[in-house]
Amino acid sequence: MKPVVALVGRPNVGKSTLFNRLTKSRDAIVADFAGLTRDRHYGNARLGKHEFIVIDTGGFEPTAESGIYVEMAKQTRQAVAEADVVVFVVDARAGVSAQDHDIGAYLRKLGKPTVLVANKAEGMTEGAQLAEFFELGLGDVLPVSAAHGQGVRSLIEEALGALVLADAEDEEGAQADPGVIKLAVAGRPNVGKSTLINTWLGEERLVAFDLPGTTRDAITVPFERAGQKYELIDTAGLRRKGKVFEAIEKFSVVKTLQAIESANVVLLLLDATQGVTDQDAHIAGYILESGRAVVLAVNKWDAVDAYEREQLQRQIESRLAFLKFAPLHMISARKRQGLGPVWTSIAEAFRSAMCKMPTPKLTRLLQEAVQFQSPKRAGMFRPKLRYAHQGGMNPPVIVIHGNSLEHVTDAYKRFLEGRFRKEFKLIGTPLRIEMKTSA
């Protein structure tokens, strides 16, 4: 599981700026997709080979009494509770405020690993100005400038320090079986995740088995169906109660993100009676960013009429256009309708995500594609695509080598993607194409 870092602090200290700096590179990948909601508070970040999840807690108003502030404070507390490390941001220029004291007291009581950072510290001589933050009783303060990117690396090294070591141990302990499909069922509250999972687990065809070496405190449910082994990754806070699993915890974005990251295939559930909501689009956006394979299922299909069904289909096409590679199913978890084809899609998506693409075949396909349609000249430059090899799995990555590849247009990349997808029968997985220009 990826570690989770929560950014907290009063408004205006620079949390969003820091969040953007930490997550920016990933955002760029998905920036072109229409329909993808941008105002997000959760993002993926990376330091070297260590990936982690960052939460921008937006507004932290521990003393707020009513309305939206209470809701925000509640969400912030939940985020903090779920984080492995808290980064408490203060304003180096403004000095310590009463609100900083409140937040500091709250964090001290909580006893989570906390890193105190003073933002907007560019051009400041250390020492005197920062000394007053010791009052907060959270130890050393780390000067950073989110806007200029100064000190951010040290900040993350400090925050991840202990966690990175813990992760390394986990990696040794867990022996992943490549034949097991790790499956996460994602979706906002009430779409029917628990109902579906219990319907599945109640099926006679499904046999539970024990799986050794599950990491940390993640709850996973191993089972076998039609000769295929699966490991269901918990997103719903499942607890075994006799023979059935019960979702006892409320929805958690952090759990959802971690489950998505740990999965090979994500089944994203929508609720036919609610249409595609912003929260659905957010979760869909995270799945796209993660690069995991995805199957879409609209649940509660039994509860909508013909007109609503048509509206829904159009809404999915427009709002989730960026997931158009994902197979779509209409199901009823309660009435056990349409469930068989979902399994077929999950298996296909897994096969696609793990597809092996031999270099000679990729290169031949590339050359055929170029012969069919060559890339446009850009001024003096004509991109020359020479050969291709596979650069990764889940998601599959195709690396193309050649000259002047920075001039290859997005339209041309989509054309290539289409050819590769067709040839390797890729269903339900994103496909990334990277260009490597030789000097």
**Which residues in 195-214 contact ligand GDP (CB under 6 A)?**
195
**Which residues in 213-242 contact ligand GDP (CB under 6 A)?**
236
Q: Which is nearer to ligand GDP, 333 or 426 (CB)?
A: 333
393 Rama sector, left if φ>0, alpha if ψ -120 to 50, beta otherwise: beta
Q: Which residue has the tokens 């010791």?
A: 134
**Which residues in 237-276 contact ligand GDP (CB under 6 A)?**
247
Q: Does 119 interact with ligand GDP (rule: CB under 6 A)?
A: yes
Contacts of 143 (CB under 8 A, 6+ apart): 92, 117, 118, 121, 124, 126, 130, 151
Q: Does 192 interact with ligand GDP (rule: CB under 6 A)?
A: yes
**Contact window for ligand GDP (CB under 6 A) among 7-15, 34-42, 77-85, 370-378:** 7-15
Task: Confirm or deny that 386 is annotated as ligand binding.
Answer: no
> Could you give the CA distance from residue 200 to residue 232 in angstroms, rounded to a whole number?
11
> Could you give the CA distance from residue 257 to residue 250 in angstroms, rounded to a whole number?
15
Strand pairing partners for 221?
232
User: Pick from 44, 57, 76, 194: which binds ligand GDP (CB under 6 A)?
Assistant: 194
Position 65, amino acid: E
Residues 214, 227 contacting (CB under 8 angstroms): no
User: Pick from 147, 219, 328, 393: which binds ligand GDP (CB under 6 A)?
Assistant: 147
Task: Confirm or deny that 102 is annotated as ligand binding.
Answer: no
Q: Are strands 328-330 and 293-299 parallel, antiparallel or unpaired?
A: parallel
Question: Residue 437: which of 397, 392, 381 has the closest Cα?
Answer: 381
In 3-state terms, what secondary structure has residue 60?
coil
Task: Confirm or deny that 310 is annotated as ligand binding.
Answer: no
Q: Does 117 interact with ligand GDP (rule: CB under 6 A)?
A: no
Question: Based on the number of CB atoms within 10 Å of its own CB, is 3 exposed (0-12), middle (13-18) or buried (19 or more)?
Answer: buried
Q: Which is nearer to ligand GDP, 122 or 417 (CB)?
A: 122
**Contact window for ligand GDP (CB under 6 A) among 38-46, 253-261, 314-322, 327-335:** 327-335
User: Pick from 1, 6, 8, 14: which binds ligand GDP (CB under 6 A)?
Assistant: 14
Task: Confirm or deny that 253 is annotated as ligand binding.
Answer: no
**Can you give the binding site for ligand GDP, defined by CB under 6 A?**
9, 11-17, 119-120, 122, 145-148, 187, 189-195, 236, 247, 299-300, 302-303, 332-334
